[in-house]
A and B are shown apart, each in its own frame.
Chain A
Amino acid sequence: GDSVTQMEGPVTLSEEAFLTINCTYTATGYPSLFWYVQYPGEGLQLLLKATKADDKGSNKGFEATYRKETTSFHLEKGSVQVSDSAVYFCALSYYTGTASKLTFGTGTRLQVTL
């Protein structure tokens, strides 16, 4: 079946460091790919998405490119801030004709220190 694999955390960085969180997927077709972020005690928020190969999603300084050849969707940010500390989830979805079903990775916790 479909699956998403993320690098294990926690990832600990100093403020203004470069961030990469790796995400690879296994899928039989061509899913849409997403990054969600979860702050402590809250639900998930959509961070960015890409719906086809070579698309780049971006939001709030975060970027990820849909790489079909490597089945990857790595999350990057050039300069992290303390406020970026959260858990990040990579996910894929297929549209079934009536609904999109999301499959999530296990999440990667990011801790940014001063």
Chain B
Amino acid sequence: DGGITQSPKYLFRKEGQNVTLSCEQNLNHDAMYWYRQDPGQGLRLIYYSQIVNDFQKGDIAEGYSVSREKKESFPLTVTSAQKNPTAFYLCASSPDREDGGYTFGSGTRLTVV
């Protein structure tokens, strides 16, 4: 079955460390997205990519970095510059068409210890 796989499901990071969250899709979707979810704040867009080797900042990109070397993969790195990284991170993808809704992964919960 096609879908989006995020790993790991839970991740613990020490202060000052960089960590990378994986996102892989086999839906042949062109666009991929990273969202951050905090309690009571809904979802906020971190980065998105419309095509391989290209990506754009979302609303809260500071302290994060991404790459899009393959169509299927869009990893997110949470750097030590991100001051409050504890959150639930969701990856999504969508087809390149006007009415395309998003398909979401099951998320990664990151906790700073």
CB-contacts of A74-114 with B (<8 A): 89, 93, 95, 98-102, 104-107
> B106 at interface (Cβ–Cβ under 8 A)?
yes
Q: Give Cα A34–Cα B48 distance, bound, in whole angstroms.
A: 19
Choose, from A20-28, A39-47, A62-70, the stretch at the interface: A39-47
> A58 at interface (Cβ–Cβ under 8 A)?
no
| Least distance between A36 CB and chain B CB atoms (Å) | 8
Scoring B51, B92, B99, B101 by chain A CB atoms within 10 A of each residue's CB, the highest score goes to B101
Residue ID in chain A nearest B58 by CB atoms: A101
CB-contacts of B48-77 with A (<8 A): 48, 50-51
Chain A residues positioned under 8 Å from B33 (CB to CB): 102
Chain A residues positioned under 8 Å from B34 (CB to CB): none
Check A46–B50 contact: CB distance below 8 A.
no
Residue ID in chain B nearest A42 by CB atoms: B106
> B15 at interface (Cβ–Cβ under 8 A)?
no
Contact flag A89-B48 (CB < 8 Å), given A51-B98, A95-B98: no
Q: Give Cα A100–Cα B31 distance, bound, in whole angstroms.
A: 8
- We find that the number of chain B residues with CB closer than 8 angstroms to chain A is 28
Chain A 42-56 against B: per-residue CB contact (8 Å), 1 yes, 0 no? 111110010100000
Chain B residues positioned under 8 Å from A89 (CB to CB): 42-43
Residue ID in chain A nearest B31 by CB atoms: A99
Chain A residues positioned under 8 Å from B6 (CB to CB): 43
Chain B residues positioned under 8 Å from A44 (CB to CB): 43, 90, 92, 102, 104
Check B90–A101 contact: CB distance below 8 A.
no
Chain B 75-113 against A: per-residue CB contact (8 Å), 1 yes, 0 no? 000000000000000101010111111111111000000
16 A-B pairs within 8 Å (CB atoms) are namely: A36-B104, A42-B107, A43-B90, A44-B43, A46-B101, A49-B101, A89-B42, A98-B50, A99-B31, A99-B50, A100-B101, A100-B102, A101-B45, A101-B48, A105-B42, A106-B42
List chain B positions with a Cβ less than 8 A from chain A. 4, 6, 30-31, 33, 40-43, 45, 48, 50-51, 90, 92, 94, 96-107
- Complex A-B, nearest 4 residue pairs according to Cβ-Cβ distance, in ascending order: A43-B104, A99-B31, A106-B42, A95-B98
